[in-house]
Amino acid sequence: MTLGSVTSSAGGAYASSSWTIASLAGGDSETLTITGTVNDPLLLTNIAEVTAATGRDVDSTPGNGYSTPETEGEDDWAIVRPNMGLITGKVLDDRDGFTPDTFDAGDDPISDVRIELWSDLDGNGDLSDGALVDWIDTDSTGVYNFYAPAGDYVVVEIDPVGYISIRDLESMDPATGAITGDTTAPSYIQTADNGYNEIPVTVVAGEEYYENNFLDLEPWVISGYVTTMILVTVY
């Protein structure tokens, strides 16, 4: 972005991407307006944070950086991506003491799982007409995040060695708790197109899409011995 003009309702000073206000009383607000020319619409990201303040701030620590995505419970910073949407979710291990074959509090996160984002040109949930847009490995909590322009996509999990995908969860409504996705009985037959490692997502700019989760399982192993009994008759 090429900077144009900067105006402030509070006056103060703006230099080197830093805005300084002399004072601000409780309940008051001030506005900083920045205009400019966007050079690449796919990289449009605006990050703002309170870096220093006098007095005690009860709900944030100025100058301590920011998180991505914006899930940290502080009120002194914001990230705005007006032309992008957030796609996020987790990869979880179903081997636990809770309800099997179901997303629940007992599922353990799986780290270092490759998650791919594919374009879906006709929006039918089939990635065969698309192309690989981006990929990322899940973090230590099993979480992955993508920022993508408006459009149709398919999120693909590459099953880690020793695991199979048995269910996925798509687009939980935070208000109602309603979910869509593979909510039928899980499949333990690993095939290339069983559907449990692909989640279609339609992105609207400025929106966030949470709980696009994958549930994996290490198949049980049944072991034993095969013996041969030889009967010999002696006369």
Q: Where are the domains of the chain?
A: 2-80, 84-217
SS3 182: coil
Cβ-count burial 11-22 (b if 16+ within 10 Å, e if not): eeeeeeeebeee
pLDDT at 187: 45
pLDDT at 191: 45
Distance of CA 77 to the CA centre of its chain: 20
Cis, bond preceding 69 (omega within 30 deg of 0) = yes
pLDDT at 140: 92
Measured CA to CA, the distance from residue 168 to residue 216 in angstroms comes to 9
Residue at token pair 């999990």: 157
- 2's enclosing H/E stretch is strand 2-8
pLDDT < 70: residue spans in the chain: 10-11, 40-45, 66-80, 96-101, 170-195, 220-221
- The DSSP output letter for 220 is P
Using the Cα atoms of residue 76, residue 47, residue 150 and residue 133 in order, give the sign of their dihedral.
negative
Lookup: tokens for 227:
């013996």
Instruction: Give per-residue pLDDT as tens, 57-97.
Output: 777 777 777 665 555 556 666 666 777 888 999 999 887 65
pLDDT at 166: 80
Q: Of the CATH numbers 3.40.50.720, 2.60.40.10, 1.20.1730.10, 1.20.58.1910, which one belongs to the domain with range 84-217?
A: 2.60.40.10
pLDDT at 67: 64
pLDDT at 173: 53
- The DSSP output letter for 101 is T
Identify the bridge partners of residue 119 per DSSP, sorted by sequence position.
Answer: 153
